Amino acid sequence: MEAPQRNLALDLVRVTEAAALASARWLGRGDKNAGDQAAVDAMRLSFNSLDISGTVVIGEGEKDHAPMLYNGEKMGAGEGPGMDVAVDPVEGTNLLAYGRPNAISVVGVAPTGMMLDPGPSYYMQKLVVPTAARNMVDINAPVKDNLNKIAKALNKDVDDLVVFVLEKPRHHGLIQEIRDAGARIQLHTDGDVAGALMVVDPRCPVDVMMGTGGTPEGVLAACAIRIMGGEMFATFDPQSEGEKGALLDQGYDLRNIMTVNDLVKSDDIFFSATGISGGTFLRGVRYLGYGAETTSLVMRGKTGTVRLIEAVHTWDKLMKISAVKYD
C-alpha cells in the first residue's frame, strides 16, 4: 500500500484549460493557424510552471506546417521527474477554424522512454474498441467479422453499433463495408483523438473507431485508452511513397500490429483533454463576459481515476497574474 502521491493530471488540466481558453477566441474565424498559435503559446507558458523535466516526444505541426510544440522541445521547469510529453494544443484545427464540434486541447505524459517514437510515420491504421471487446477483434480481419464480434461482446445487434470514421477519400471502401455489415456510422472531418476517446467513454454513443489517422494522435490517444481499459490495434499505414520509404529505411516493420501497451509502456501516465468548440464529447469554452467556463476530462493511469472537471475562470482575478491574455 502507498500513501497518496501527487496527481500530475491535476496540474496538466491547467495546461489544456489555458490552451482551450486562448484558442477558442478563434472559433469559426477561418484562421486555423492563428487558433493553433494561440493554443501553442498558452500551453508552452503553462507547461513551464510544472515541476517536471519533460521532452516532447509527440508534437504537432511538422505534418501540416502549423505552429507547433516540436519533437525534442524541453517542457517544464527542468526539475522533477523525467517525462515523455505528448501534446496536441488544438486537435482539430479545421474544426476550430470553421466552428465545427469536437475540437479539443490534449496532453499526455509518461515516464521517459515509455512512449513510442513514431519516427517518420505520419499515419497509422487504427481499430479502437471498448473494454468488453478488447480481446475479440483482429485488425486484419474483415470489417463485417469484427463488427459482429464487437456487437456480441457489447450484447448488441450489429445495427445498434455506431462506428466513428474520418471522412476521407481513403475510407470510401471502409465506409461501404461498414454499411454493408449493417452498422451505423458517424463521419467526422477531423479529430481522431476525440474519436478514440468517444469509444472508451461510456457517456458517448460511439462503439468503435476504424480507419487510418495520424500516428502522433494514435500515441496520444493510447494514453487515455490504456487508462480507461479499452484497446487500440494499430499498424503503420504510410500514405505516400516517401513516408513508406523512410519507415523501411529506418527499420520499421509495416506488418507489426501494435496495442496500447506497445504505444505507451507504463501505467504511470497522466492525461488531460479540454473542450474547445464543444460537441458530443466535451462541452466547449463558454465565454461569460466576466470570465469563461471549461470542461475537461482528466485521468491518472496508476489509479485508473477519471475525472470530469467543470471550471469557472474569472478574468478580473486571473488576468492580474496570468501571462496569457485570455480576454
Query: CA-CA distance, 255 to 264, in Å (whole number)?
Result: 19
Q: What is the largest CA-CA distance in the chain?
A: 58
Q: Where are the alpha helices (DSSP H) in 53-102?
A: 93-97
Q: Which residues are annotated as a binding site for Mn(2+)?
A: 36, 60, 88, 91, 217
Please give the grid coordinates belonging to residue 235: 499498424
User: Can you say which residues are annotated as belonging to the binding site for substrate?
Assistant: 91-93, 123, 168-170, 190-192, 214
* Set of cell numbers at residue 106: 490534449
Taking each helix axis from N to C end, the angle separating 192-200 and 215-228, rounded to the nearest 10 degrees, works out to 20
DSSP 258-323: B-HHHHB--S--EEEEEESS--SSS---EE-SSEEEEEEEEEETTTTEEEEEEEEEEHHHHHHH-S
Single-letter code of the amino acid located at 163: V
Instruction: Work out whether the CA dihedral 183, 188, 192, 194 comes out positive or negative.
Output: negative
Q: Please, what is the angle between helix 9-23 and helix 32-47, to 10°?
A: 150
Pair type for strands 162-166 and 208-214: parallel
Q: How far is CA 306 from the centre of its chain?
A: 15
Residue numbering of the annotated binding site: 36, 60, 88, 91-93, 123, 168-170, 190-192, 214, 217
3 state DSSP class of 149: helix
